Amino acid sequence: MRPTFMGFETAKSAIFTNQKSLDIVGNNLSNVDTNGYTRQRVDRAAVAQSSFSTRIASNRTGLAGQGVEALGVSQTRDAFLDKCFRDEYAMASYHGQAADILSSIQNVLVDGKDITSASGIQGAIEQIYKSLNEYIKEPTLDSGANIVMSAFKNMCQVINQLDEKLTVVARQQKEDLQVNVGRTNDILEQLAHLNQKISEDATVLANPDNEYFRSNELLDQRNLLLDELAGYGDIQVTALSNGAVNVKMGGHEVVREGECNTLAMEENAQGLVTVRWRSTGEPIRLTGGTLLASQQYINGRGNNVQSSEEAVQQGIPYYRDRLVTFADALATIANRTIPVLDPATNRPMVDANGETVYKTLLAARSEAGQAAPVKAGNLSLSTE
């Protein structure tokens, strides 16, 4: 390089540009454990030759060789990989949330984890079986009858407790869903705010992709929020020329530059939950994410769906229905076992239709003490 002022400027531009590249390398190393940080790079280009500022147009050969300049600092991030990750993360979050809810149900139904457990339905059935076998050997002994009564009482308590525990699981899952809805709304509001800040903060130079350089730190914050949002539901992100992004969630536009939509959770009298858009009141239509899993397994009644708000997944209502079916079958069998004796004939009493009248051993009572349909939560011993 010749020892002229232009030669010195060329060398100086190379030193300064490479020094900035070393600064960015150091910044990358120092942020290797920073959550959401995207590796940065310096975009460089040769100093352009221009005779625009001269009074008379001239040959630009004499202006060539002025060195290198740093256009700006960009990120090594791939939009396609972002989309692939967010799509898969939505599905992974759905199955993870579904597994958590089913695990909570399994912890309640101990027979599902350990069939030998004496504290579940299986243990209560075995207790009834043993007490009845002992009772038929000496049916005249009050002690044997008391043991049978205790066994049935234990069964009723087991069913009542299981129903209560499933109610607690449902309440906890609804509270978790409410928290997730609130967090989703916070993310949407932050995205709209970051959109506004990013669109206002741009350089006058463009990178090799013909995009203006933006604040990389703000972009990292926004991408981190978008990744988190994908865990709550499937999203589609569209980048705009001003640096902002539009976001759709379940096909519904939730972020449009500096504006956003939010969610609201509702619970009806049957305990079913629905998450709706505040702007339209329509229920969300997601294909993945924790919000979808929570709704489906809180409202999941299996094949016995009775309304549009219920889901076909085998969730909490499904297992409560199975308990009700078992309680009703147990009461039906128990209440058609011991006939009422007619004191006059010392034979089983019959009704007006000639049907044998049986003692009511198991019954269901409402909170007011009146007879009620048999459910898992109200099954108890009869007073007869």
**pLDDT, tens digit, for every residue of 258-310?**
899 999 999 998 899 999 999 899 999 999 999 999 999 999 999 988 888 89
Q: Do 331 and 337 meet the contact criterion of CB atoms below 8 Å apart?
A: no
Banded pLDDT at 335 (limits 50, 70, 90): confident
Tell me how long the chain is: 384
Q: Do 71 and 213 meet the contact criterion of CB atoms below 8 Å apart?
A: yes
What is the chain's mean pLDDT, rounded?
84
Most confident range, picked from 281-285, 337-341, 368-372: 281-285
Angstrom distances, CA of residue 156 to CA of 118, 374, 375, 381, 382: 15, 11, 11, 7, 11
Q: Which percentage of the chain shows pLDDT scores above 90?
A: 38
CA angle 195–198–200, rounded 5-degree value: 110
Banded pLDDT at 213 (limits 50, 70, 90): low
**pLDDT, tens digit, for every residue of 171-198?**
999 999 999 999 999 999 999 999 999 8
CA–CA separation, 367 and 365 (whole Å): 7
Rounded to 10 deg, the angle between the 79-108 and 290-298 helix axes is: 30
Most confident range, picked from 33-42, 272-281, 328-337: 272-281
Domain boundaries of the chain, sorted by first residue: 1-76, 80-322
Helices (runs of H) and strands (runs of E) counted in the chain: 7, 14
Kindly tell me if the per-residue pLDDT of 169 is higher than 60: yes
**pLDDT, tens digit, for every residue of 98-124?**
999 999 999 888 765 555 666 678 888
Banded pLDDT at 362 (limits 50, 70, 90): confident
**Cβ neighbour number for residue 144 with a 10 Å cutoff:** 17
- Among 221, 210, 256, smallest CA distance to 236 is for 256
Kindly tell me if the per-residue pLDDT of 51 is higher than 60: no
Phi first, then psi, for residue 249 (nearest 5°) are -125, 115
Six-digit token pair at 314? Answer: 């085998």
CA dihedral over 101, 107, 111, 116, signed as positive or negative = positive
pTM above 0.95, yes or no: no
Q: Do 290 and 94 meet the contact criterion of CB atoms below 8 Å apart?
A: yes
- What contacts 35, CB < 8 A, 6 or more positions away? 224
Phi first, then psi, for residue 308 (nearest 5°) are -70, -20
- Which helix (H) or strand (E) segment is 332 a member of? helix 316-334
3-state secondary structure of 228: helix
Q: What is the DSSP letter of 288?
A: S
User: Where do the DSSP E strands lie in the chain?
Assistant: 40-46, 68-75, 202-206, 212-214, 235-239, 245-249, 252-256, 259-260, 263-267, 273-277, 341-342, 347-348, 362-364, 379-381
pLDDT at 56: 58
Banded pLDDT at 376 (limits 50, 70, 90): confident
Lowest-confidence range among 65-69, 224-228, 347-351?
Answer: 65-69
CA–CA separation, 205 and 202 (whole Å): 9
DSSP string, 13-66: HHHHHHHHHHHHHHHHHHTTTSTT---EEEEEEEPPP--TTSSS---SGGG---
pLDDT at 267: 92
Q: What is the largest CA-CA distance in the chain?
A: 133
pLDDT at 116: 60
pLDDT at 204: 45
Banded pLDDT at 381 (limits 50, 70, 90): confident
